[in-house]
A and B are shown apart, each in its own frame.
Chain A
Amino acid sequence: MAGVVHPAARLHPALYLPGRSPLKPRQAMKAICLYKPHRPPAEGCKCGIWAVSEPKFVSEVYWSASPMRLRGVFVVGQVALWGELVEYDRGWRASHAYPKHLYAFTDDVATAAALRDRYLVPVECGEKSTLLSQLFPKPNGEFGP
């Protein structure tokens, strides 16, 4: 998953849509379809919660497009997916999700701690997050910081 932490330690999904609320702490994220009245992840639609199988594919879920326009600390992480799922070559679409382990791209321990306390999951920051970022693709298709 990818998202942005706002100053109030609320995690917003990476794919920002006007009016979309932040991920609710200690509650499952349940997908809804914004296009048709069906249950995500519906066949022939792009609805559902998207996740990639490896960090190098994270650009496929707009990890760097929308979040950079928002204020806050950028965050990626592992998620638990359940409910209805569709497996793809490089990821999944699911009906339910919740973070399992988060990586905040900041040296600010207080921000990471606030995120951990709010969502009750391990949160890394500083060097560990920097190491993870080396696995991410750069805009030109290369890897590394």
Chain B
Amino acid sequence: MGDIGEPRRRFTVWPKETPVPQPVEDPAPGQKPVVTPEPVEAPE
């Protein structure tokens, strides 16, 4: 593997809401539906 420098600190982060998007039609229990991502822009 490459070199990303020296380790600075170790920590733990467990977000309250999952960073994994869920389909609007099938939101995870107790979670709000995720807004559909912006449409892909066509190259000019």
Contacts and interface: CB of A to CB of B under 8 A. Distances in A.
B43 interface: yes
Interface residues of B, number: 31
A91 B2 CA distance: 11
11 contacts: A26-B21, A26-B23, A57-B4, A61-B2, A82-B13, A83-B12, A86-B7, A88-B5, A98-B19, A98-B21, A121-B21
Given A61-B2, A86-B7, A88-B7, A127 B43 contact: yes
Nearest to B9: A87
Contacts of A127: 43-44
B18 A121 contact: no
Contact of B5 (A80, A81, A90): A90
A132 to B, nearest CB: 13
Contacts of B38: 122
**Most A CB within 10 A of own CB, among B9, B15, B19:** B19
Chain A residues touching B, range? 35 or more
Interface string B8-44: 1111111100111111000000000010111111111
Interface of A: 15, 26-28, 43, 46, 50, 52, 57, 59-62, 80-92, 98, 100, 107, 109, 112-113, 116, 119-128
A91 B5 contact: yes
Given A26-B20, A85-B10, A86-B10, A62 B2 contact: yes
B4 to A, nearest CB: 4
Contacts of B22: 26, 120
B37 A122 contact: yes
B20 A126 contact: no
A100 B38 CA distance: 12
Contacts of A52: 4
